[in-house]
Structure 1
Amino acid sequence: MLARPHRLTRGDDYRMVVRRGSRCGGSRVITSVLPTTDTERAARFGFIISKQVGNAVIRNTVRRRLKAVCAELLSEVPQGTDVVIRALPASATASFVELRADVQRCLTRLTRQVTT
């Protein structure tokens, strides 16, 4: 599970990452990454799961899976980076492995872009 310092909690932070960050889309998720000037701060993650994904049970399942994926990939994300993951309707039927592959591909690609 993601500890409190690794979570985006303010709406302004979500908006800034989605609007100004680099984006990578897949069939199940869209990942936005925005590096910040505060490199001492831990990487933070936020999740957007709309009602188009499914009912509350399905949305919460998708959210829990995405949080677990991000907890596993935390070491691959540079300090001071904010990440927002938007779940698409196809994420409702995706397995944990499929979600992990989509998120990992996008995070690898976007963090490589940011650091170069």
Structure 2
Amino acid sequence: MLPAAARLTSSADFQRVTRKGRRAGRPRLVVHAVTERKQATTEADPRATWSTVSPRVGFVVSKAVGNAVVRHRVARRLRHLAAARLGTLRPGTALVVRALPAAADATSAELGQDLDAALRRLHLAVDDNGGEA
């Protein structure tokens, strides 16, 4: 399950990521991504400082993918795959994963391969040492 803090929920966030972000297309999905930083203040320094926020993910599965049963199945699979990859994403990353009609017939493994390839193409995954994977 995707934690509440890791979900994109507002339409403004979806719009910002899809319009201003970079994108990587794969046969079964398209991933839109932006890296954001949140402004915070500390008592020691009243001036604003920048701190990174945890990665957040949202999903778009339109009627072009299939009927409600198929759309929900695709969305569940994508949520599960994204939750497993949250720890490998750069801090401050906001993703929108848009399923294409070919996702309806895809297995979880195929969707995972497309998601991993898109994340690599966007240079968003980090390894255990904090560097790019």
Q: Same fold (TM over 0.5)?
A: yes
Bin for the TM-score computed over the shorter chain: over 0.9
SS of the counterpart of 1:8?
coil
- Structure 1: gaps spanning 5 or more residues: none
Are positions 1:69 and 2:51 aligned together?
Answer: no
What is the identity, as a one-letter code, of the residue corresponding to 1:30?
V
Task: State the Cα RMSD in Å.
Answer: 1.5
More displaced stretch, 72-81 vs 33-42? 33-42
Q: Structure 1 length as normaliser, TM-score?
A: 0.93
Q: Which deviations, in whole Å up to 9, do the C-alpha atoms of 1:55-99 show, x marking residues without a partner?
A: 001000000000000011111111111000000000000000000
- How far residue 37 of structure 1 moved from its aligned partner, in angstroms, is 1.7
Are positions 1:111 and 2:123 aligned together?
Answer: yes
Aligned to 1:18: 18
Displaced runs of 4 or more, over 2 A = none
Which structure would you say has the larger RCO, counting Cα contacts within 8 Å and 6 or more residues apart?
1
Q: Identical aligned pairs, as a percentage?
A: 40
- Structure 2: gaps spanning 5 or more residues: 39-50, 125-131
Q: Given the alignment, which residue of 61, 67, 70 partners 1:55?
A: 67
What is the identity, as a one-letter code, of the residue corresponding to 1:109?
R
Q: Structure 2 length as normaliser, TM-score?
A: 0.82
User: Which has a greater percent of strand?
Assistant: 2
Structure number with greater Rg is: 2
- How far residue 111 of structure 1 moved from its aligned partner, in angstroms, is 2.8
What is the identity, as a one-letter code, of the residue corresponding to 1:10?
S
SS of the counterpart of 1:32?
strand
Give the whole-Å Cα distance in 1 for the aligned partners of 2:89 and 2:22: 14
Aligned to 2:107: 95
Q: Given the alignment, which residue of 22, 39, 58 partners 1:46?
A: 58
